[in-house]
Structure 1
Amino acid sequence: MTHFDVLVIGTGSGNSILDDRFANLRVAIAEPSLFGGTCLNAGCIPTKMYVHVADVARQATDSEDLGLQTDFRSADWPSIRDRVFARIDEIEAAGRHYRSEQLDNTTVLTEHLRFTGTHSLVGDGGSEITADRIVIAAGAHPVVPDIPGLDPSMVDAPGSPIHTSRSIMRVDERPDSVLILGSGYIAAEFAHIFTSIGADTMVAVRGDSMLGYLDTEVSAAYTAAFAAENDIRFGIEASEAALTDDGRVRVTFASTGRVPDAEVPDPIVVERLLLAVGRDPNAAGLDPVAAGLDVHPDGRLSVDAHQRVLSGGDPLPGVFALGDVCSPYQLKHVANHEADVVQRNVLVDIAAGTPGGAQEADLAAVRHHAVPAAVFTRPQIATVGMTEEEARASGAVVTVGRRDYAGVAYGWALEDRTGFAKVIADKGTRRILGAHVMGPEASMIIQPLIQAMAFGQRADEVAHGQYWIHPALPEVVENALLDLDFA
């Protein structure tokens, strides 16, 4: 049995925990897959590199409104793919090499670990490990839906036509046809990518909207805009899937009963089937029961405000968690913030001597106020804080400001006819409760509203207390703020 002072499970945001301040300790980092986690290898970063390609292709396709005669002719998929992963794979290899070869005090464990006790674990290969302090940063994984005829072992398998986001971006050739199951941000982004570069792409949605978790007005507007440029079928689900003799996938559909008079398509055969129906935390695979770890009904590990893992409602001494394995947000920037908090608290705990010996007053707490998110499609979406429905249900006296992109000068330049900014505020305090932007560069122009919420600035102060560059796109945010009624 091998003992470590600190063990980190996962190399996404968990990889940032161990720095020079741990140099005098015996530490280990466990990673059975690729260094860098989902964000680097199969999530945020590669998808955005593909999204940029899709955006450029769309611009070439849709230029007549600007008086330009351009068109999109073809996509060199291997070149697109290699541009993305030549950079990403180099970073992954460098991270692995640094941890494995350049740090004398660090052991890299390439096995999947599971708990056998509160501070003991065993690897799939049989190695037994104990650690004084453990950081669980094991992330999440794509959900594989239960579809008759779909063999889960085929999902993401080499040569298989059935994918999740983990493997679809690395296929050898651009597929001629893709079926995407799902209605969330992963389904939306991949639909945008494949449709834009010329693949015959269909999205099967169980309900009546895309991004249905958003503010109702935003989801409805997005659904209409997205469906105008993509083949979206509502109120259906895959009722059967089977491989064909030529290595493709035949999918049969049925009504979900959630959309009246939904039109159920005939069975289709596609080159690639992409499962994008959600992600689940990787807590179950760690055998949390063996360590007595508290688990939420949705499978997340339960943590306190200091990211200490709970057992029976109390912090388990020396055990911390961060990111998708415990967070309801499943966002990289949230995981990075939690990693910073965990790092500080582990160091405080080490300085205290005994695991769990740190005084609570000395521990850092997470700040999960004004957590933003974005969806990188066409149109782009950015959101922070409450939806209008949540704000009204909270009991606040709500005022809503709204401004279309078409109402500001740069919106005219873009010829944008669907985008808008929406700000929700409390009439009494004049604080911003939520903000939602749909349109070009939404993820950037929402930032002043995120900052205002984070620092408690009043909406009227944000609108009037600074210059807004004219005729820049953030004027749509300024004008939405000015539209708030505090009378």
Structure 2
Amino acid sequence: MTHYDLLIIGTGSGNSIVDERFDCLRVAIAEAGLFGGTCLNVGCIPTKMFVHTADLAAAAADSSAFGIRTSFGGADWPAIRDRVFGRIDPIEAGGREYRTNRQPNVTVYPEHVRFTGPKSFTTASGTEFTADRVVLAAGSRAQIPALPGIDTDRVDTPGYPVMTNDTVMRMSALPETMTIVGGGFIAAEFAHVFSALGVDVTVLVRGEGLLTAADATVTERFTRAFSAHHRVHLGTQIRQAEVSADGVRLQLEASGRVPDSPVPDDITTDVVLLATGRVPNIDGLGLDAAGIDVVAGRVAVDDHQRVLSDGAPLPGVFALGDISSPHLLKHVANHEARIVQANLLADIAAGAPGAAPDSALETTNHRAVPAAVFSRPQVASVGATEDAVRASGAEYTVKIQEYADVAYGWALEDTTGFVKIIADRSTRQILGAHLMGDEASMIVQPLIQAMAFGLPADRMAREQYWIHPALPEAVENALLGLEFTD
């Protein structure tokens, strides 16, 4: 039976682990899908390339506030799509070719692999092997809810008009109509993309708002601003779907989550996009055979990214990214991959799986984890929500600064954007920051830095220059508006 020193399952952030320091080891890499994982192929990168195109289209369609007359004349969808994947697909192919053909110490299994024991494995085609050390980096996948009339086995298959983010960006042509099911960041981003490109989009949300995991101020104000540009039905769900050659007919009903919400008329749509979240790829890995702990649907790990079995580290087994992290974010997975890489090298240097002492291992830093939603408007956040801070019992101060009250906000003709900062009244430490509006994902960065390095809010505001009249003045003014104890 073939034996490896290291097995990595998944080629998203896990693919970055193996460098020249692993040249002396026999390495196996298992990837049943596309090299590069979710972010490269169906997530962060292609969606943001589409979002930028949508931003340009939306700006062209609505410029009267600036005293100029422009219009959106339509989208060349094949050109838009091919610009995106003409860059991404060669990267995927190049990564696969490099690992497969140009690293003699690496064996690629282009198929599903599962545990048959703590350190034994089998592939989907029946090849068996063993490995001393393992990295679980299998990521996550689109959650496909059970909806009456929709065949979950046919979702994302050619010709079936029900899709997820895995296939919707590669459509052969833009549909005339699209119904998006969901109210999170995936729904918000794709609604912006396709409506800006001329598709008649309807968004069905079971709850009472969009982005409900965000700070309450963001949820309320984003829902209002987003609904001004998109057709949104809150408190609504699908009662029955009828798929035919003409599209999908949806019979709708109240979800029961929004009192007195009206039930929209039935609709017929060319495409249904399921955007109801993501789930870790833990099923089918044979985790029970290895005795691996699963908590809240994720592989359980400690602060060194070691996989747990009965609450204790399983020697030589690590996990990272969406399969084990509550933060389904590429930048978190990248950080965790660096931690796993360092700890793998320490483990190897110690001479046996699990032999490295805790003192020799690096610890994951999940402080000040930021996130952004690239929709219209854009949203960014870091740290705790106001509800969470209030529930903690902390004495806090909060300030909301409108974009409209700073000079660059005037230039933007912005009427909805804001910066919200929450800080501890006595320590002056920033506890959370929540932004909505143009370039929110950029201007949140100094707040992330302040939280990461413990810079008090009052020092941050006063002990540096803020370019006038740039948009970060909204951050400066929010900081200056916080009220601290003497």
What TM-score does the superposition give when structure 2 sets the normalisation length? 0.99
- 2:114 equivalent in structure 1: 114
- Structure 1 residue 385: Cα displacement: 0.2
1:408 aligned partner, one-letter code = V
Query: What CA deviation, in whole Å up to 9, does each residue of 1:356-407 have, x standing for no partner?
Result: 0001100000000000000001110000000111111112111002210011
- 2:39 equivalent in structure 1: 39
> Does 2:242 correspond to 1:204?
no
- Structure 1 residue 242: Cα displacement: 2.2
Counterpart CA distance in 1 for 2:218 and 2:143 is 26
- 2:339 equivalent in structure 1: 341
Counterpart CA distance in 1 for 2:235 and 2:286 is 37
Counterpart CA distance in 2 for 1:245 and 1:384 is 45
- 1:478 equivalent in structure 2: 476
> Does 2:234 correspond to 1:234?
yes
Identify which range, 285-294 or 345-354, moves more after superposition. 285-294
- Structure 1 residue 261: Cα displacement: 1.9
- Structure 1 residue 245: Cα displacement: 3.1
* Paired residue secondary structure (1:485): coil
1:202 aligned partner, one-letter code = T
Query: What CA deviation, in whole Å up to 9, does each residue of 1:121-161 have, x standing for no partner?
Result: 11111111210000000000111111111111110112221
- 2:284 equivalent in structure 1: 285
- Structure 1 residue 47: Cα displacement: 0.3
Counterpart CA distance in 1 for 2:426 and 2:21 is 47
- 1:265 equivalent in structure 2: 264
2:101 aligned partner, one-letter code = E
- 1:275 equivalent in structure 2: 274
2:483 aligned partner, one-letter code = D
Equivalent runs, 1:153-164 vs 2, <5 Å:
153-164=153-164
- 2:86 equivalent in structure 1: 86
Identify which range, 39-48 or 254-263, moves more after superposition. 254-263
* Aligned partner of 2:462 among 442, 461, 464: 464
2:112 aligned partner, one-letter code = H
- 1:360 equivalent in structure 2: 358
* Paired residue secondary structure (2:363): coil
> Does 2:255 correspond to 1:256?
yes
Counterpart CA distance in 2 for 1:228 and 1:192 is 12
* Aligned partner of 1:377 among 375, 378, 383: 375
- In the alignment of these two chains, the number of paired residues is 485
- 1:244 equivalent in structure 2: 244
Counterpart CA distance in 1 for 2:378 and 2:2 is 49
Equivalent runs, 1:394-473 vs 2, <5 Å:
394-473=392-471
- 1:193 equivalent in structure 2: 193
- 1:219 equivalent in structure 2: 219
Equivalent runs, 1:61-210 vs 2, <5 Å:
61-210=61-210
2:222 aligned partner, one-letter code = Y
Counterpart CA distance in 2 for 1:111 and 1:58 is 41
* Paired residue secondary structure (1:116): strand
Question: Which segments of 5 or more consecutive residues in structure 2 lack a partner in the other structure?
Answer: none
Displaced runs of 4+ in structure 1, greater than 3 A? none
1:92 aligned partner, one-letter code = E
2:36 aligned partner, one-letter code = G
What TM-score does the superposition give when structure 1 sets the normalisation length? 0.99
Query: What CA deviation, in whole Å up to 9, does each residue of 1:92-116 have, x standing for no partner?
Result: 0010011011111101101101111
- Structure 1 residue 19: Cα displacement: 0.4
- Structure 1 residue 260: Cα displacement: 1.7
Counterpart CA distance in 1 for 2:20 and 2:75 is 45
Counterpart CA distance in 2 for 1:302 and 1:275 is 28
Counterpart CA distance in 2 for 1:262 and 1:197 is 30
Counterpart CA distance in 1 for 2:284 and 2:238 is 27
Root mean square deviation of aligned Cα: 0.8
* Aligned partner of 2:310 among 291, 301, 312: 312
Counterpart CA distance in 2 for 1:40 and 1:129 is 29
